[in-house]
Amino acid sequence: MSNHQTGAIAPGGRKLEGAPVAPARRLPLAWVGIVPFALFALLFLILPTAKIVIGAFQTPDGGFTLDNIQGLFTDSILKAYWISIRISLASAALGCLIGFGIATAFVLGGLPQWIRGPLMTFSGVASNFAGVPLAFAFLATLGPVGLITLFLKTNFGVDLRMLGFNLLSFWGLTLTYLFFQIPLMILIITPALDGLKREWREAAEILGATGGQYWRMVAFPILLPSILGTLALLFANAFGAVATAIALTGSSLSIVPILLYAQIRGDVLGNPHLGYALAFGMIVVTGIANALYIWLRARSERWLK
């Protein structure tokens, strides 16, 4: 008989042997481990997002209005969104192209295995290196009096500014974003490249396919959802980058994060609720990009399992 059975008391006070007793309920301690994460997400993600969404449809006195959303369709704000989208697309496309080439070289290109560890470690660090330190690093390197700028001008007579390069510009900001876009691409695409089965290439070679045909007809179609998904993620990553853009360009480049900063920093001319609307628009754009990434990632995992 089970050990969970124990004595019970009959109505007359007589003890009944062998009657089962329901086990006492215990608090599932496994859930305690996610409490810090849940609190962190609630305080710094869910509640601020809800505040932004609600504030985008409010007047300063708390009433409902669509004026803030309509304010997004002014020429200056639409131009800012367009510049931000172009910078995000450019940095995402270049980051995907360069990162894919690097990852392919050390995963499938026959490079020594010892290269992989340091490269992945650097990619993990560099993909999170942004904000003021990244802006300072590029200003110190490629700024008007940066190390490389002065070196080229002093030793070779090459003036980058005379050639049209300006770090505080569209391509300057795009180049700066590549510092964290390329490593992020490497981190995400490497598992997909590892998932390419050797049997697929061997089968293609047995059937007479060349290396180019294998990549065009087998490998690339399998990797395409991962590449497109990563492109969407890199776009969202660049579109939401605020600190780097502000620290690098200040007000010289009119992009959405800088307009948002100008509206919510507390100046007399600022309109916090228009800032909420700007942030709401950024949430919509990055939300679409992230949803696309999740969908494409799920499609790619079906092949790579």
Q: What are the chain's domains? A: 76-304 (1.10.3720.10)
Give me 27's structure tokens.
């608090």
What number is the average pLDDT over the span 114-134? 90
Is pLDDT above 60 for 105?
A: yes
Average model confidence (pLDDT) across the chain: 85
Q: Provide CB contacts within 8 A for 142, sequence distance 6+.
A: 148, 149, 160, 165, 167, 172, 175
Kindly report which listed range (114-118, 206-210, 263-267) carries the lowest average pLDDT score: 263-267
The per-residue pLDDT for 246 is: 84
| Residue 94 or 146, more confident | 94
Kindly report which listed range (217-221, 267-271, 301-305) carries the lowest average pLDDT score: 267-271
Q: Map residue 20 onto helix, strand or coil.
A: strand
The per-residue pLDDT for 53 is: 92
Contact 69, 57 (CB under 8 A): yes
Q: Provide CB contacts within 8 A for 100, sequence distance 6+.
A: 185, 189, 227
| Cα four-point dihedral sign 91, 96, 102, 103 | positive
What number is the average pLDDT over the span 300-305? 67
Q: In this predicted model, what pLDDT tens digit does every residue of 53-64 receive, in sequence order?
A: 999 999 888 889
Cβ-based neighbour number of residue 192 at 10 Å: 23
Q: In this predicted model, what pLDDT tens digit does every residue of 141-196 receive, in sequence order?
A: 998 888 999 999 999 888 888 888 888 888 999 999 999 999 999 999 999 998 88
Is pLDDT above 60 for 15?
A: no
Question: pTM of the entire structure?
Answer: 0.82
Q: Provide CB contacts within 8 A for 87, sequence distance 6+.
A: 170, 173, 174, 177, 238, 255
| Residue 303 or 286, more confident | 286
